[in-house]
Structure 1
Amino acid sequence: MASAQTLIVPGPEGDREVRLSSPDKTVWPATDAGEAITKADLAAYLMAVGEPFLRALNDRPVTLQRVRDGIGGEIFYSKNPPKGVPEWAATTMVTYPSGRSHPQLVVHELATAVWAAQMGTVTFHPWPVRSGDNDHPDEIRIDLDPQPGLGFAEIVEVARGLREVMTEVGLTPFVKTTGSRGVHIFAAIEPRLEFLEVRHAVIGIARELERRMPDLVTTAWWKEERGQRIFVDFNQATRDRTLAAAWSPRVLPGGPVSVPMTWDQLGSVGPDELTVRTVPEWLAEHGDAWEHLHDEAGTIDGAYALWEADLERGLGELNFPPDHPKMPGEPPRVQPSKKVAEHWDEDGNRIDG
């Protein structure tokens, strides 16, 4: 096994040298579909998709999903930049739901991504903000999360329904596979509203989609209430919630990749066919379907109007992730099947004793 390899990575300020230790180390074990994928293979993949991958990451704080001993070993997230970050790598200060702040890595050039792979990073999770303003998202991101028993055809059907809703409210939706079972839909927005308001706009979109496709779509936060439907994960719009970047590999068997597609392409290829081994050829043949995602930012006003209309109908706040502080109007943070009504007040606060 080779002990180390030095890669020459071109960048905006000239070539960088990135040392790759144990390049033959397995990241993804071999499967029936193909041979093992090594750290050197991962670095080569990142360089092959470098231009569109940087478009997805550039100028954004990034959380790194890292592994020890490949995807079968320990998997953990790095929000602080890993130790030994090169002096030429950029960072930006971000604030978390708890109110604390610390720097996160910003991938301004491909060498930073390759160095992160050297440090065990497999999946890159960028925030929906730019480093110059970490409080006002410039993207709406919606995750369609299928419950057990649903196939990819149903996910595609719901994604097309979501496209209609988003287009009607003035957004231009772009779609990608997740690298797993679902799909992600993004839209560029003007960075005017803060996270809570963007989340409310996403809830407005999600509820409208649920009204149109009640047999296939749910906004129920608790899994026991979702049934065999596709959950529109509105909480991906909250602060410190991120999705895998376009063109990023995933920590899943076989080395799958989250791949942007045109709406016509969606459903024409199975997500398990798009891997670290196959995606460079896909990109060479089809190009980057998200190249123009940020050419023109849409307005979020129409989506936010859906939220306001639902407020008038008597629909209010939905549950936040458990690591967020309790929010005004939030429903009780307890599974409906375990809720005892007299233990909760009308504002969703627990009454002790």
Structure 2
Amino acid sequence: MASERVLLTVPGPDGVREISLSSPNRVVFPAAGVTKHELAEYLIAVAEPFLAANGNRPVSLERFGGDVTADGFFSKNPPRGAPDYVSSVEVTYHSGRHHPQMVLTEIAAAVWAVQMNTVVFHPWASLASNPDNPVELRIDFDPQPGTGLPDAIVAAHAMREVLREAGLTSFIKTSGNRGLHLFAPIQPMHEFLDVRHAVIAACRELERRLPQRVTSAWWKEERGERIFLDYNQANRDRTMAGAYSPRPLPTATVSTPVTWDELDTVDPRAFTVRTVPDRLLAVGDPWAGFAENPGTITELLRWWERDVDNGLGELPFPPDFPKMPGEPPRVQPSRAKKSAQ
């Protein structure tokens, strides 16, 4: 018996494409009842702002064979059988390996990715035309036990001021879960390690201003009830869910750009695959014009050098990274103390 299919008509720069979607009535987000067909139609509805945020750059796909309560997996290489309108670019990972990575140049490519059971789109911070030099600085505000969204909001407002003093304009979005993501457009003048150092410098400055509220401590045992400023999201081959990307939660929430004025009263649970298209029609895209006036990280790198001169050096990298120059030991502080006794 042939599997159930629907034929989607997808507009694009080269005309209309027809994409066959298998199992369209399979429920992907069980609490919301959102199907695979609805997910594909959502991407068509938000095509313009979605591509502005995630297009023309390397992107990793988070895919689920069942619904989002099952285990997913990441595709960093383009899935087999990709049609000719799905582009790719050769990138270098932190391991030094080289591989092609998918690039979205039109919304049909994202819809085809949904046909391949993609739920979350994770774009790099760099463009396909220059994958080694980021075009945005990113900071993840990650609530720790005992903290929540209101604490992340306070931290985000304060970080906006820190970055303003460094000459950068900040944009904010919900993570689609409990946290917030701050992005600042930058000129592609520096490679990932420099941008990482700029992020660390900004995080350290915010720690000095809000020591009881935020922390950049890599080890969980040192964070306490503070918002974790995840500086390691600035590394090469580290990605966050893109703006307007769904998240793998049963309620079908979406990582959604908001204005700074509405941040204080924002409810991330209200932004879903079913509600975000109407929101865009009503209020527009808060990130419109995001890339029009990119700044530089020059001042933040001065702060980094100042902190290095004052004895604050490199911070730990993720465990799958090779040992990096100047990096402190990758051992939990409590274990280090026990081994020293």
TM-based fold match above 0.5: yes
Structure 1 counterpart of 2:281, from 262, 281, 284: 284
Q: Is the 8 A contact 1:2 1:24 kept in 2?
A: no
3-state SS of 1:251 partner = coil
TM-aligned CA deviation for residue 2 of structure 1: 7.5
- Using the alignment, how far apart are the partners of 2:309 and 2:327 within structure 1? 17
- Using the alignment, how far apart are the partners of 1:72 and 1:143 within structure 2? 24
1:39 aligns with 2:36: yes
The residue aligned with 1:273 is 270
1:302 aligns with 2:299: yes
The residue aligned with 2:26 is 25
Partner letter of residue 7 of structure 1?
A: L
The residue aligned with 2:198 is 201
TM-aligned CA deviation for residue 286 of structure 1: 1.1
- The one-character-per-residue Cα deviations of 1:295-331 (angstroms, maximum 9, x if unpaired) are 0110110111111110111100000011110011101
Partner letter of residue 25 of structure 1?
A: R
The residue aligned with 1:349 is none
Q: What is the TM-score when the length of structure 2 is the normalising length?
A: 0.97
Q: Which runs of 5+ in 2 are unaligned?
A: none
1:226 aligns with 2:211: no
3-state SS of 1:5 partner = strand
The residue aligned with 2:50 is 53
Q: Is the 8 A contact 1:2 1:23 kept in 2?
A: no
TM-aligned CA deviation for residue 267 of structure 1: 2.6
3-state SS of 2:126 partner = coil
- Using the alignment, how far apart are the partners of 1:335 and 1:228 within structure 2? 18
- Using the alignment, how far apart are the partners of 1:277 and 1:269 within structure 2? 17
- The one-character-per-residue Cα deviations of 1:263-307 (angstroms, maximum 9, x if unpaired) are 001132211111111111111111101111100110110111111
Q: Give the number of aligned pairs.
A: 339
Of 275-284 and 196-205, the range deviating more from structure 2: 275-284
Structure 2 counterpart of 1:113, from 98, 110, 124: 110
The residue aligned with 2:254 is 257
The residue aligned with 1:189 is 186
Q: Is the 8 A contact 2:49 2:285 kept in 1?
A: yes
3-state SS of 1:242 partner = coil
Q: Is the 8 A contact 2:69 2:249 kept in 1?
A: no
After the TM superposition, list the runs of 4 or more consecutive aligned residues in structure 1 that deviate by more than 3 angstroms. 340-343
Q: Which runs of 5+ in 1 are unaligned?
A: 344-353
Q: What is the TM-score when the length of structure 1 is the normalising length?
A: 0.94
TM-aligned CA deviation for residue 127 of structure 1: 0.3
User: Alignment identity in percent?
Assistant: 55
1:155 aligns with 2:152: yes
1:168 aligns with 2:168: no
